[in-house]
Amino acid sequence: MTNTTEKQRQGIQSIEVGTRLLRALATHGRPMMLRDLAKNAGMPAAKAHRYLVSFMRMGLVEQDANTGRYDLGAFSLELGLASLSRLDPVRLGGPILEDLCEQIGETVALAMLGNHGATIVRWVEAGGPITVTLRTGTVLPLSRSATGRAFVAYCRLPFMKKLLERELRDAAAETGESVTAQIQTLEPIINEIRLHGISRATGSLTPGINGFSAPVFDHTGHMVAAVTSLGAIGHFDTDWNSPLAVAIKEAARALSLRLGHGETTPIQPGNVLGSISQ
């Protein structure tokens, strides 16, 4: 390795040191006094002040003229929004699905809300003696599948109402069960999903197949996808607190974090059931 290559890999240490101030501001979540900011960044106040002067000139940091407190500036916001706009749940979810499949030994998938409903956009098959058919482009029913129910419980898109209402009316025409009766059956299921933070279905869609589906949230707290796993009854543990359920919820949480969803970001569940005309 040449000296030039070593210097390139070393980078610019002063930038790395200064970034500790930006990280401290981002982590703290509100404006900070110089002494507190310097302490959190692990440097003397005088040194922190020099970095902050430069950051203010760049728009990365701003200072309140009345309180003297520092906060992230407009350019930091611009960078953050630009980064969020480039986040792709499908691309970022790939490695997470692979790890989850290997961990639980079951077929896993990522679903998003498409024009026709909860649509599989990526999947990883576990293999083995029992094959669960789940392909890219498969649309799962909102009221009967674990994936669909997760979207009913958490997705706030107005389009959700139209999709669910159409599905329930089609079911009413086919089975004779009224939309009102279907909603009354679905309501306690949705409430239970919100209680446990994960959706499940036990043979309601495909006989002999169980499913779990956990919601994925973006930086605004809105549901944008679902991590789903399917397996055979008798082999697929559907207990709410089973290791399987915990692993799926953790995978969804990991993808949410990659999409900018913080631990303190409020989640706003959907309310499509109450808005459907019966």
For the chain, helix, strand, coil in percent to 5 are 50, 15, 35
Indicate the domain borders of the chain: 3-85, 89-275
Q: How many residues does the chain have?
A: 278
pLDDT in tens, 27-68: 777 899 999 999 999 999 999 999 999 999 999 999 999 999
CA gap 259, 249 in Å, rounded: 15
Q: Judging by beta carbons within 10 Å of its beta carbon (0-12, 13-18, 19+), is residue 126 exposed, middle or buried?
A: middle
**Distance of alpha carbon 237 from alpha carbon 255, whole angstroms:** 23
Provide the whole-model pTM: 0.69
Q: What does the DSSP assignment read for 48-78?
A: HHHHHHHHHHHTSEEE-TTT--EEE-HHHHH
CATH of span 89-275: 3.30.450.40
Q: What is the tens place of the pLDDT at every residue in 120-161? A: 988 898 876 555 566 778 889 999 999 999 999 999 888 888
Q: Find the farthest-apart pair of alpha carbons in the chain and give their distance in angstroms, rounded.
A: 78
- Cα–Cα dist 253/218, whole Å: 10
CATH of 3-85, picked from 1.10.10.10, 1.10.1040.10, 3.30.460.80, 1.10.3720.10, is 1.10.10.10
